[in-house]
Amino acid sequence: MSSELPPQVQNQLAQLQQVQQQAQTLAMQKNQIESTLKETENALEELEQLSGDAVVYRTVGDMQIRTTKDDAIVKLKERNETLSLRLQSISRQDERISKRFNQLQEQVKQAMGTQGGYQAQ
Give the residues lining the site for other proteins (CB under 8 A).
1, 4, 36, 39-40, 42-43, 46-47, 50, 54-59, 64, 72, 76, 79, 116-119, 121
Three-class SS state of 52: coil
Give the nearer residue to other proteins in terms of CB position, either 101 or 118. Answer: 118
Rounded to the nearest whole angstrom, what is the least distance from the CB of residue 7 to other proteins in the complex?
A: 18
Give the nearer residue to other proteins in terms of CB position, either 32 or 96. Answer: 32
Give the nearer residue to other proteins in terms of CB position, either 57 or 88. Answer: 57
CB proximity list for 49: less than 8 A, separation 6 or greater = none
Rounded to the nearest whole angstrom, what is the least distance from the CB of residue 41 to other proteins in the complex?
A: 9
Neighbours of 68 (CB within 10 A): 14
Rounded to the nearest whole angstrom, what is the least distance from the CB of residue 120 to other proteins in the complex?
A: 9
Q: In this structure, is the dihedral angle defined by the CA atoms of residues 18, 24, 27 and 28, taken in order, positive or negative?
A: negative
Do the beta carbons of residue 101 and residue 19 sit within 8 Å? yes
